[in-house]
């Protein structure tokens, strides 16, 4: 069984045909993890017994119920869960030693929906503690490594989920995207990664980083697989008042439809000095594919882009400082001394900007900039259907290269955080390779345009087939 070459669509077909059983599939996943994860560090907790038990249960269902795949559209699909998601009966740490023994009594809404759809959780994946980071190096445990080059980062904060899907440990990895944290690891690991519209997917049961920014997304190998998962996770949730009662589309139904006449906007502020020329070339080559498919390219402007990072790193730490205040070492969790350097940095910065005398000068001004950035995107979408931009200004960087320079680390998110400020969706799709490393391209749309993003990305994926180039490191 070649899990590196399989997708959710492939596996569902093979399970239906009886090519292998759920138990055989899960055993193969666990074997791959045991052989490879010592050098990748994608997982913090394995759910071996629970996964095998669930696989047995599903094999019996397949034998006895011919309609089971209609009832459970993701039946038997192995999943890695970012350790920010609460999982009943499976330790949830948020990548932090402060709550290293937390065993939740309930599942996050997204996890409950995915379990109901038939996924099998193989384990909880590594991450930057509390979701604070762009590289995976801010975990309180060992940092995750990029399967395409073990000396480089896989992108963060959903580093473990990205690496796990990339090296064949599972077929979907959940993530959270507050400013980049699904799209960046997807870009660095040659995956499809979605940051949905804010409010499209419930945040209930996902440990909060910055509540007005957090978006609940996921990573897969292909566009079809990604769309299939969103059909399950999206939708209103009575436990999350920020979810919106807008119909969930059958996203997979539009895949393959043509995009002739589609207007693609190219934000000039995203193609500036500092963008690695190899990435620029890759994106420009990708644009030729879209033109071949019948789309037109038009340069547009997002005039307040230069202020996005500054606004983001005032507003987000402010919400972080509020959300982390509950971990006081009194009611639950370990002492606050266990917070890592990045968490402490964000708590102090957020507390400062919210303090008396500074709120108007910093927080309020940043909130006004956020509105202007949102308006920039709204104006752009009056002229074009989608935007295309690089996911990252650089290729995956070396582990340790930026860990002592927080400002350089933050700039990894420079092309990604504006969509979080605006609350709009962004989809990373593989654009190709440079120096043997993945290049990510993001397709950005207006609010609740996920269906369009998948439609555009799918045709590009079918033309290029970049997703078929998997990591080549040897097992063992």
> Catalytic residue numbers?
82, 157, 181
* Cβ neighbour number for residue 428 with a 10 Å cutoff: 34
Q: What angle do CA 263, 391, 469 make, to 5 degrees?
A: 100
The 3-state secondary structure of 139-170, one letter per residue: CCCCCCCECCECCECCCCCCHHHHHHHHCCCC
Closest to 96 measured CA to CA, from 407, 326, 348: 326
Round to whole Å and give the CA distance between 326 and 302: 37
Measured over the CA atoms of residue 106, residue 169, residue 412 and residue 428, the dihedral's sign is negative
DSSP state of 78: E
- E-strand stretches of 221-303: 263-267, 296-300
Identify the CA nearest to 436 among candidates 416, 464, 466: 466
b/e per residue, 23-61, with b = 16+ CB within 10 A?
bebbbbbbebbeebbeebbbbbbbbbebbbebbeebbeb
- Report the distance separating Cα 32 and Cα 37, nearest Å: 8
């Amino acid at each position: 069984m070649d899990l590196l070459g399989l997708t959710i669509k492939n596996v569902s077909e093979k399970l239906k045909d009886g090519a292998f059983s759920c138990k055989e599939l899960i055993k193969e996943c666990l074997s791959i993890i045991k052989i490879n994860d010592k050098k990748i560090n994608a997982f913090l907790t394995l759910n071996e017994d629970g996964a095998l038990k669930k696989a047995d249960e599903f094999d019996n269902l397949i034998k006895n119920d011919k309609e089971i795949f209609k009832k459970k559209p993701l039946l038997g699909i192995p999943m890695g869960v970012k350790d920010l998601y609460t999982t009943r009966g499976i330790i949830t740490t948020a990548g932090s030693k402060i709550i290293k023994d937390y065993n939740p009594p309930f599942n996050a809404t997204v996890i409950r929906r995915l379990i109901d759809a038939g996924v099998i959780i193989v384990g909880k994946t590594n991450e930057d503690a509390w979701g604070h980071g762009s590289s995976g190096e801010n975990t309180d445990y060992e940092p995750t490594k990029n399967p395409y080059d073990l000396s480089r980062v896989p992108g963060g904060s959903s580093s473990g989920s990205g690496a796990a899907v990339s090296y064949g440990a599972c077929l979907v990895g959940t993530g959270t995207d507050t400013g980049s944290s699904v799209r960046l690891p997807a870009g660095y690991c040659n995956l499809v990664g979605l940051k949905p519209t804010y409010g499209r997917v419930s945040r209930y049961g996902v440990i909060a980083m910055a509540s007005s920014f957090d978006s609940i997304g996921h990573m897969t190998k292909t566009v079809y697989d990604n769309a299939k998962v969103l059909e399950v996770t999206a939708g209103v949730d009575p436990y999350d008042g920020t979810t919106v009662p807008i119909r969930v589309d059958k996203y997979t139904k539009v895949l393959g439809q043509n995009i002739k006449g589609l207007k693609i906007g190219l934000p000039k502020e995203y193609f500036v000095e500092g963008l690695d020329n190899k990435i620029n070339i890759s994106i420009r080559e990708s644009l030729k594919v879209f033109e071949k498919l019948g789309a037109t390219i038009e340069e547009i402007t997002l005039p307040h882009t230069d202020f996005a990072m500054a606004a983001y790193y005032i507003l987000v730490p402010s919400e972080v400082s509020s959300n982390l205040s509950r971990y006081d070492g009194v009611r639950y969790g370990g002492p606050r001394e266990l917070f890592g350097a990045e968490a402490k940095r964000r708590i102090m910065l957020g507390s400062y900007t919210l303090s008396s005398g500074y709120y108007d000068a910093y927080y309020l001004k940043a909130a006004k900039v956020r509105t202007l950035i949102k308006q920039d995107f709204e104006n752009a979408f009056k002229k074009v259907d989608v935007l295309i931009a690089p996911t990252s200004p650089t290729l995956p960087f070396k582990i340790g290269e930026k860990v002592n320079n927080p400002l350089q680390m933050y700039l990894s998110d420079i092309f990604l955080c504006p969509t979080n400020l605006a609350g709009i969706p962004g989809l990373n799709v593989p654009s190709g390779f440079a120096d043997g490393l993945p290049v990510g391209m993001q397709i950005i749309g207006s609010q609740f345009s996920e269906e369009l993003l998948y439609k555009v990305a799918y045709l590009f994926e079918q033309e290029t087939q970049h997703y078929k180039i998997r990591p080549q490191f040897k097992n063992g």
